[in-house]
């Protein structure tokens, strides 16, 4: 289903709003319900995206922030530095997008690298982990409980499927402390 916006159509895509259990929050509401700012004629999976002279197949997911997820044979050799910026600023994503590169090791384990919009490649991305699992689950390639290996460590994502909340669990660490006077 697509909704018309003033400049382009907005595809309704996955929207697993993801919360960390380490932070003590409630799990996110059900996926597949929030419009994604993405120029598409309607909902599809995968979407074809012309990037850097090649056609990529992506899953498009919104978690309050947009994600484009593509499957790769190996994250270690994925062209994150070349394709990440091109996907992030692709004209079909008017608000830019986070680009996830997902390697499926088996039904309960993926490896992931994420090129975040405005920041570049990061060591970990909780919403990116949720997005990758949502795309993999939608395609029938992942189980409901998935270990996600990112360069910064390990995360767990649990999602029963459409109509269910999505859970993200992982370590929480203090990276710095400080005070700000306003």
State the pTM of this model: 0.79
Residue with the larger pLDDT of the pair 165 and 88: 88
Model pLDDT, residue 35: 59
pLDDT at 7 over 90: no
Residue with the larger pLDDT of the pair 28 and 167: 167
What value does the mean pLDDT take over residues 101-123? Answer: 97
Model pLDDT, residue 103: 98
Strand arrangement of the beta sheet that strand 35-39 belongs to: 2-4, 9-12, 35-39
Tokens representing 80? 């994150």
Query: What percent of the chain clears pLDDT 70, i.e. is strictly above it?
Result: 78
Model pLDDT, residue 9: 32
| Separation of alpha carbons 24 and 13, rounded Å | 27
Topology adopted by domain 2-169: Diaminopimelate Epimerase; Chain A, domain 1 (3.10.310)
């Amino acid at each position: 289903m697509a909704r018309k916006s003033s400049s382009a159509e907005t595809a309704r895509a996955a929207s697993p709003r993801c919360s960390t259990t380490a932070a003590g929050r409630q799990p996110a509401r059900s996926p597949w319900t929030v419009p994604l700012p993405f120029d598409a004629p309607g909902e599809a999976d995968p979407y074809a995206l012309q990037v850097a002279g090649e056609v990529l197949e992506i899953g498009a997911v919104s978690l309050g922030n947009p994600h484009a997820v593509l499957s790769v044979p190996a994250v270690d050799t994925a062209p994150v530095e070349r394709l990440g910026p091109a996907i992030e600023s692709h004209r079909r994503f008017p608000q830019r997008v986070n680009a996830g590169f997902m390697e499926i090791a088996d039904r309960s384990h993926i490896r992931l690298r994420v090129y975040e919009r405005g920041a570049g490649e990061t060591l970990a991305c909780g919403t990116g982990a949720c997005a990758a699992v949502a795309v993999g689950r939608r395609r029938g390639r992942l189980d409901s409980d998935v270990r996600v290996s990112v360069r910064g460590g390990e995360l767990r994502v649990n999602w029963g499927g459409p109509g269910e909340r999505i859970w993200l669990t992982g370590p929480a660490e203090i990276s710095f402390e400080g005070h700000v006077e306003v």
